[in-house]
């Protein structure tokens, strides 16, 4: 229940509201969207610990989906889902939010909880994209390069 409370606090925070507003601008600007994707992959590359591999796999799928959307290859994504994905990534890469990232370990709790909430909430859209990806060629996944390692769990 504490996790649900954290998600509720994040979703109603000024930080997430700002991320939602920014998401519309990112959705309409391919260069900004690609930069956001790169930042999210870089940040995730610095995470370590149990269950992080599954987290990175989900993030990899989301970032491939966003790249395919930005390039015009894949447009079967509802606008609401697109904005949610971008807003969550904006929140994820921002160092200043409900639990600032400079706080050791605890600072990433809200970021990861929000990402997991998103993965769960857009599961059907992710599944549709993965089916499309399988029939339209190999995924073009970027391996993130960590700038620093942060141990989780």
Domain positions in the chain = 2-137
* Overall average pLDDT of the 42-58 stretch: 84
CA atoms of 51 and 26, how far apart (whole Å):
29
Q: Which residues pair with 151 in a beta bridge?
A: 48
Q: Kindly report, residue by residue over 88-147, the tens digit of the pLDDT.
A: 999 999 988 878 777 767 778 888 899 999 999 999 999 999 999 999 865 554 444 444
CA atoms of 40 and 36, how far apart (whole Å):
6
* Overall average pLDDT of the 52-62 stretch: 91
Give the E-state strand segments of the chain in sequence order: 47-48, 150-151
Tokens representing residue 146 in the block: 């960590």
Tokens representing residue 92 in the block: 């994820």
Distances (CA, A) of 58 to 52, 53, 62, 112, 141: 10, 9, 6, 12, 12
């Amino acid at each position: 229940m504490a996790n649900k409370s954290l998600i509720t606090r994040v979703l109603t925070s000024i930080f997430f509201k700002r991320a939602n507003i920014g998401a519309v601008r990112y959705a309409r600007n391919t260069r900004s969207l690609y930069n956001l994707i790169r930042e999210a992959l870089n940040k995730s590359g610095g995470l370590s610990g149990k269950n992080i591999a599954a987290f990175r796999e989900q993030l990899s799928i989301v970032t491939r989906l966003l790249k395919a959307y930005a390039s015009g290859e894949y447009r079967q994504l509802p606008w609401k889902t697109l904005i949610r994905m971008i807003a969550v990534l904006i929140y994820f890469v921002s160092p200043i939010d409900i639990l600032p990232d400079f706080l050791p370990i605890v600072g990433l709790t809200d970021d990861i909880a929000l990402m997991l909430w998103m993965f769960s909430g857009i599961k059907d859209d992710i599944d549709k994209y993965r089916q499309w990806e399988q029939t339209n060629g190999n995924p073009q996944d970027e391996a993130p390069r960590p700038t620093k390692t942060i141990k989780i769990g």
